């Protein structure tokens, strides 16, 4: 018999954790567990490349322009292909959709089609790559709606409320994977020596009454009256609060991760700077909905300023939305200001 050592019983790998989560659901077949583990593997692969980004000849822009009209960087493509290739043949997915592609990504024949669909933003915050700043991958998993055969666009256009699991990988000082499958939010840190994600942040809850506010102040001249006054409230300029400090990376996963751990609020409001994008910059399906699910599972809240992000029925794959996310009280305050001043 092995002696039960205190230190070893505290080491929980991501595989052990997702298997233990699976046991909470006796009806589970193990497919979701395997899918989450495949995503963790993709995260390790992407992480190993992002940490070598300054060394390898993979920095710089490709000549392509993605569906959002942004230039695609090489690491984006690598992350995109990694996630697709690690998941196209497993039989767990009916279809995928990536922020980098206009249409859904079918599962190629002859591979079997599964019961889930996977949506992902392969490398969020990629304009930060050249500056060695945090970047991340965001993923969402839904149960397919169609009965069988190849997955459809409708399988991917589901409201965040129907998410089965969501999470992100953050490539920063260390690499972290944070996910929820509907029973709390759990964070794992990659141990680069053994190549495994270890549980480092069990059952994360967004703290209240602390934290920072996080927004791109460079655009405040384009904001609505409600958003402007809400921001002044956060700064304590209306005399109703003592004022919060500001933090803004410009990489949503990094800004959200800090908000999740420290409290406060991150927002990317609608603005008037680009008349073609009156709904803000962030994508509902690839960015806002998965983080909203995580925030709610951590006791927080996410809104587009008027309604719960999780209740929005998406109409197209690349739909954009304003996003206010973090401590419930602060997000509700934003809604209050928007109701009062923006009609």
Site residues, ligand AFP (CB under 6 A): 70, 124-128, 216, 250-252, 255, 268, 281-282
| Contact between 105 and 122 (Cβ < 8 Å) | no
Q: Which is nearer to ligand AFP, 188 or 286 (CB)?
A: 286
Q: Which is nearer to ligand AFP, 273 or 306 (CB)?
A: 273
Q: How far apart (Å, rounded) are the C-alpha atoms in residues 267 and 231? A: 10
Q: Which is nearer to ligand AFP, 113 or 320 (CB)?
A: 320
Backbone phi and psi for residue 162, each to the nearest 5 degrees, phi listed first: -95, 5
Q: How far apart (Å, rounded) are the C-alpha atoms in residues 219 and 205? A: 30
Q: Write out the two tokens for 129.
A: 């790559």
Backbone phi and psi for residue 7, each to the nearest 5 degrees, phi listed first: -65, -35
| Contact between 125 and 256 (Cβ < 8 Å) | no
Residue at token pair 């958003």: 227
Q: Write out the two tokens for 102.
A: 């206009």
Q: Which is nearer to ligand AFP, 208 or 216 (CB)?
A: 216
Min dist CB 251 to ligand AFP, Å, is 5
Closest by Cα among 191, 200, 192, 228 to 337: 228
DSSP state of 223: S
Min dist CB 228 to ligand AFP, Å, is 17
Q: Which is nearer to ligand AFP, 71 or 308 (CB)?
A: 71
Q: Which is nearer to ligand AFP, 20 or 130 (CB)?
A: 130
Give residues with Cβ within 8 angstroms of 163, minimum separation 6. Answer: 140, 141, 142, 289, 290, 293, 310
């Amino acid at each position: 018999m092995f002696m039960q050592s205190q230190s070893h019983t505290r080491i929980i790998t991501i595989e052990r954790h997702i298997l233990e989560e699976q046991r909470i659901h006796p009806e589970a077949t193990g497919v979701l567990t395997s899918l989450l583990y495949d995503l963790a593997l993709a995260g390790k692969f992407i992480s190993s490349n992002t940490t070598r980004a300054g060394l390898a000849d993979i920095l710089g822009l490709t000549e392509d322009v993605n569906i959002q009209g942004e230039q695609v960087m090489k690491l984006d493509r690598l992350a995109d292909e990694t996630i697709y290739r690690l998941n196209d043949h497993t039989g767990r997915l009916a279809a995928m959709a990536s922020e980098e592609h206009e249409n859904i990504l079918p599962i190629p024949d002859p591979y079997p089609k599964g019961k889930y669909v996977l949506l992902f933003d392969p490398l969020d915050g990629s304009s930060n790559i050249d500056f060695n700043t945090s970047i991340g991958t965001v993923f969402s998993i839904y149960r397919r709606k169609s009965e069988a055969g190849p997955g459809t666009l409708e399988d991917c256009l589901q409201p965040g409320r129907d998410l089965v699991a969501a999470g992100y990988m953050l490539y920063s000082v260390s690499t972290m994977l944070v996910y929820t499958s509907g029973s709390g939010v759990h964070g794992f840190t990659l141990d680069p020596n053994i190549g495994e994600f270890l549980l480092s942040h069990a059952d994360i809850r967004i703290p209240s009454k602390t934290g920072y506010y996080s927004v791109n102040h460079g655009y405040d001249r384009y904001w609505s009256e409600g958003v402007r006054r809400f921001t002044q409230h956060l700064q304590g300029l209306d005399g109703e609060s003592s004022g919060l400090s500001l933090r803004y990376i410009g990489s949503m996963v990094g800004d959200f991760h800090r908000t999740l751990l420290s409290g406060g609020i991150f927002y990317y409001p609608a603005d008037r700077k680009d008349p073609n994008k009156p709904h803000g910059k962030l994508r509902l399906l690839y960015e806002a909905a998965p983080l909203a699910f995580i925030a709610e599972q951590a006791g927080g809240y996410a809104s587009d300023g008027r309604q719960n992000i999780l209740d929005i029925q998406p109409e197209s794959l690349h739909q954009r939305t304003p996003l206010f996310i973090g401590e419930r009280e602060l997000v509700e305050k934003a809604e209050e200001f928007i109701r009062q001043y923006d009609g």
